[in-house]
């Protein structure tokens, strides 16, 4: 799926002064702990590729808190492919504590000034801090308006991270010295949306917090001396922590380190959970385990659910039917479906990993790059009836190109699209780069109507596919093995878990319906 992108990923490390050094620290020196951040960020590179950065705390340096960040991937930002530059840069990352961030922008331009972490310098240690943010504030516009009501405040970036910078700064202004749990509690009362935060100040205090709904994942591990956290468990596992040591930060909780002591503290009530289901079906690394649910097993179960809906194998001969995943994240679903149906799962599409991104360009450029991104294999596809498995369809740009290429370049006899997700009919306001209502392929066809075989047939015709089938709505929660009430499924059921999310959707929907009813045609991209 080349049309959806996540906002960010966060990471943090801290070596407590226990008299021992964790074996996971480079060189066996606690002061080298900050050097662990680039490797952690590479493990969550899937969550953002526009910028990367680190802030580190070094009590042995007069510059207690320092920040380095740059645009590009982790490899680009940290000069990983230039041994001399990389070694020189890594030599500056000294200290027992650090936070890191990888960014993809849903708000704010893709330049260095929007890269994170954001650092705020100050002469007082507790007011000198840096933080990284994963998520999106649904009430960003309201908060922005409120901040600008004061003539003393200024906002220079169109990003919710700067909003957070202002709010945190206000909470510790003057003689205010809230504890970290108190700061988080007050902050949470102002925020609507998804907000995982890693924070570090010049006193050497740190927190890694997860919002009360737990919309985005956040994992941590502790071996008695070394604490580490990251947006996904795979980063901690590959760092060397055992499965027994890796935990999920509970919604409304924070891991707080202060006075050389680590605590997991609840800072806000969590009346319900709203884990984003897309983390399991697309965004997260397939090797991750999020909230005790395996990403790979969830994707495999999606394929089994698709198989239970399938009828193609019951028509005519089976020898000419193959299952083909759209690389890479649809592989688990394709494997599960093929195994359940007793059909071969073949790599009929090869992804060019070095093709340019398609999500920041205009429609025609996206189509052109989509054609370059995947290469069909005629040796696999020729004369076959292809069950093409995809994670989801958003704008439909990539899917149209793939269907055409499977026929024209691959020689497929038929192309039957199977989507391991219900129709996407609403935008996301919690950190996924989702289109407005009017640009969503499924909404253009449904516009509030219930999905029927007749509508699926029209959608297939639009894609120039022989047929199209979506995963049933109920299958989502079954596949992830969580109650539907614990998931955010707003993009498929329009039921947003926060008030501002619901309000934003209603405004967007009303605008789209007004355009449709006024006789203007919706532009397909």
- What's the pLDDT band for 523 if we cut at 50, 70, 90? very low
Average pLDDT over residues 122-141: 96
The 3-state secondary structure of 263-292, one letter per residue: EEEECCCCCCCCEECHHHHHHCCCCCEECC
Structure confidence at residue 494 (pLDDT) = 97
Of 71-75, 256-260, 353-357, 400-404, the one with minimum mean pLDDT is 353-357
Produce one character per residue of 282-301: b if its CB has 16 or more CB atoms within 10 Å, e if not.
bbbbbebbbbebbbbbbbbb
Q: Following CA atoms 244, 287, 340, 413 in sequence, which dihedral angle do they give, to the nearest 10 degrees? A: 180
To the query of whether residue 491 is one of the catalytic residues in this protein, the response is no
Mean pLDDT of 159-164: 92
Rounded (to 5) percent helix, strand, coil in the chain: 35, 20, 40
CB 37 within 8 A of CB 93: yes
The candidate with the shortest Cα–Cα distance to 198, out of 173, 242, 228, is 228
Integer Cα distance of 231 and 288 in angstroms: 10
Peptide bond preceding 117 in cis form (omega within 30 of 0): yes
Predicted confidence (pLDDT) per residue in 10-36, tens digit: 999 999 999 999 999 999 999 999 999
- Please name each of the domains of the chain with its CATH number: 8-271 (3.60.20.10), 294-517 (3.40.50.2020)
**Which residue(s) pair with 23 in the sheet?**
none
Mean pLDDT to the nearest integer, 296-303? 98
For the residues 39-56, what does the mean pLDDT come to?
Answer: 95
The pLDDT of residue 4: 54
According to DSSP, residue 345 is labeled B
- Cis, bond preceding 328 (omega within 30 deg of 0): yes
pLDDT at residue 5 in the model: 52
Query: Are residues 459 and 507 in contact, defined by beta-carbon separation less than 8 angstroms?
Result: no
If you average pLDDT over residues 52-56, what whole number do you get?
97
The arrangement of strands across the sheet holding 51-57 comes to 65-71, 51-57, 97-103, 8-15, 226-230, 219-222, 246-248
pLDDT tens digit string along 255-273? 999 999 999 999 999 999 9
Q: Which of 179-193, 351-365, 402-416 has the lowest mean pLDDT?
A: 351-365
512: pLDDT strictly greater than 80: yes
Question: Quick one: what percent of the chain has pLDDT higher than 70?
Answer: 92
Annotated catalytic residue: which of 8, 219, 345, 500? Answer: 8
- Name the pLDDT band for 525 (thresholds 50, 70, 90): very low
pLDDT digit string, tens, across residues 322-379: 999 999 889 999 999 999 999 999 999 999 877 644 443 445 555 676 778 899 999 9
Position with higher pLDDT, 328 vs 59:
59
């Amino acid at each position: 799926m080349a049309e959806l992108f996540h906002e960010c990923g966060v990471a943090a490390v801290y070596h407590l002064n226990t008299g021992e050094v964790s074996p996971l620290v480079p060189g066996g020196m606690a002061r080298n702990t900050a050097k662990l951040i680039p490797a952690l960020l590479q493990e969550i590179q899937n969550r953002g590729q526009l910028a990367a950065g680190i802030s580190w705390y070094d009590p042995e340096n007069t510059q207690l808190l320092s920040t380095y960040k740059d645009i590009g991937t982790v490899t680009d930002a940290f000069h990983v492919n230039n041994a001399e530059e990389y070694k020189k840069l890594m030599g500056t990352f000294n200290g027992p504590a650090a936070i890191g961030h990888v960014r993809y922008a849903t708000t704010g331009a893709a330049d260095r000034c929007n890269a994170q972490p954001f650092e705020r310098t100050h002469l007082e240690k507790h007011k000198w801090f840096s933080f990284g943010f994963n998520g999106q504030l649904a009430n960003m516009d309201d908060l922005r308006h409120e901040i600008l009501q004061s003539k003393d405040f200024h906002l220079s970036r169109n990003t919710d991270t700067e909003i957070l910078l202002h709010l945190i700064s206000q909470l510790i202004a003057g003689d205010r010295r809230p504890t970290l749990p108190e700061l988080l509690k007050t902050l949470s009362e102002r925020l609507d949306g998804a907000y995982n935060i890693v924070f570090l100040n010049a006193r050497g205090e740190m927190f890694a917090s997860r919002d009360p709904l737990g919309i985005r994942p956040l994992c941590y591990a502790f071996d008695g001396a070394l604490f580490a956290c990251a947006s996904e468990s795979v980063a901690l596992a590959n760092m060397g922590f055992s499965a027994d040591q890796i935990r999920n930060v509970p919604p409304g909780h924070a891991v707080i380190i202060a006075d050389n002591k680590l605590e997991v503290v609840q800072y806000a009530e969590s009346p319900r959970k709203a884990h984003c289901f897309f983390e399991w079906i697309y965004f997260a690394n397939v090797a991750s385990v999020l909230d005790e649910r395996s990403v790979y097993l969830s994707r495999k179960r999606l394929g089994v659910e698709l198989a239970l809906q399938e009828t193609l194998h019951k028509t005519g001969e089976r020898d000419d039917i193959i299952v083909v995943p759209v690389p890479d994240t649809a592989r688990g679903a394709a494997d599960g479906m093929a195994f359940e149906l007793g059909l071969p799962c073949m790599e009929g599409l090869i992804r060019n990993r070095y093709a340019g991104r398609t999500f920041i360009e205009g429609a025609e450029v996206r189509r052109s790059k989509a054609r370059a991104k995947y290469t069909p294999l005629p040796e696999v596809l020729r004369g076959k009836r292809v069950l093409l498995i995809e994670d989801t369809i958003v704008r439909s740009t990539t899917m149209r190109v793939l269907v055409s290429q499977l026929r024209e370049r691959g020689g497929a006899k038929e192309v039957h699209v199977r989507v391991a997700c219900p129709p996407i009919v609403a935008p996301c306001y919690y950190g996924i780069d989702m289109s407005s209502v009017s640009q969503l392929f499924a909404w253009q066809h449904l516009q509030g109507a219930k999905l029927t075989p007749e509508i699926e047939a029209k959608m297939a015709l639009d894609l120039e596919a022989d047929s199209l089938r979506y995963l049933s709505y109920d299958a989502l929660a079954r596949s992830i093995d969580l109650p539907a009430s614990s998931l955010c499924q707003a993009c498929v059921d329009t039921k947003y878990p926060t008030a501002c999310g619901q309000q934003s959707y209603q405004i967007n929907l009303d605008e789209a319906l007004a355009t449709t009813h006024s006789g203007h045609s919706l532009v397909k991209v």
